[in-house]
Amino acid sequence: MTIIVHHLENSRSQRILWMLEELALPYEIKRYERNPETMLAPPELKRIHPLGKSPVIEDSGSDGRVIAETGAIVEYLVDKADGKLGAPANRDAALRYRFWLHYAEGSMMPPLLLKLVLGRIPLFGKRATRRIQPMIDVHLDYVERELAQRPWFAGDEMTAADIMMSFPLEAARSRGGLDGSRPHTIAWLDKVHARPAYQAGLAKGGPYAYA
């Protein structure tokens, strides 16, 4: 029984490779490259899922079930691994786990993505991104305060919530103003990048601009 990860370069799917390494679940990778002009995913991904996005996984142990959306995939893998990296037993920690699991894509990624897209528009884009940065700073300040209180997003142990938060914070360090002025967040990223499972997923996934 093997999971096939449809992995797009420089994308959210790197988190899935990291998670599979942490869970020690068997998997294969099918790699896709972005269009060098548009930076969009190739049309081949639409043969796997109608949205044509990555990550997408196929689980050969479940009659080839196809699952899209990072959060849904992460929760599916937690269930498949009998709860490993899932919600902690402590109620408050479990609530934090669920919050960060959904916050990553629901709240933090949208302004980062907006800044990236608008930044590619000449003249107008540069002015627009100056207005977006304060929105991003609100999130970065919030994350910094939270990580000053505990080593991982949910509590004392790493969970799938940390895996979900890795991509927006990597993107923020690349293009969203995250730097040494927020030391707890930088220390968290460095700790993530030093994990053997993260390094193994990175080696298997190929080029990734944000590590």
105 in the same domain as 172: yes
> 1 pLDDT band (50/70/90 cuts)?
low
Residue 122 forms part of a structural domain: yes
Residue 117 forms part of a structural domain: yes
pLDDT at 122 over 80: no
190 in the same domain as 108: yes
Q: Is the Cβ–Cβ distance between 25 and 81 less than 8 Å?
A: yes
What domain range includes position 126?
91-195
Residue 16: CATH number of its domain:
3.40.30.10
Please list, in sequence order, all residues whose beta carbon lies within 8 angstroms of the beta carbon of residue 192, skipping any fewer than 6 positions away. 162, 166, 198
Residue 140: CATH number of its domain:
1.20.1050.10
113 in the same domain as 173: yes
pLDDT at 178 over 80: yes
pLDDT digits (tens, 9 = 90+) for 102-119: 999 999 999 999 988 887
75 in the same domain as 96: no
For the whole model, what pTM was predicted? 0.93
28 forms bridges with which residues in the sheet?
A: 4
Handedness of CA 78, 4, 113, 209 (dihedral sign): positive
53 in the same domain as 15: yes
190 in the same domain as 119: yes
79 in the same domain as 100: no
Mean pLDDT of 138-142: 98
**Which is nearest to 167 in space by CA: 203, 138, 194, 192?**
192
The mean of the pLDDT values for the chain is 93
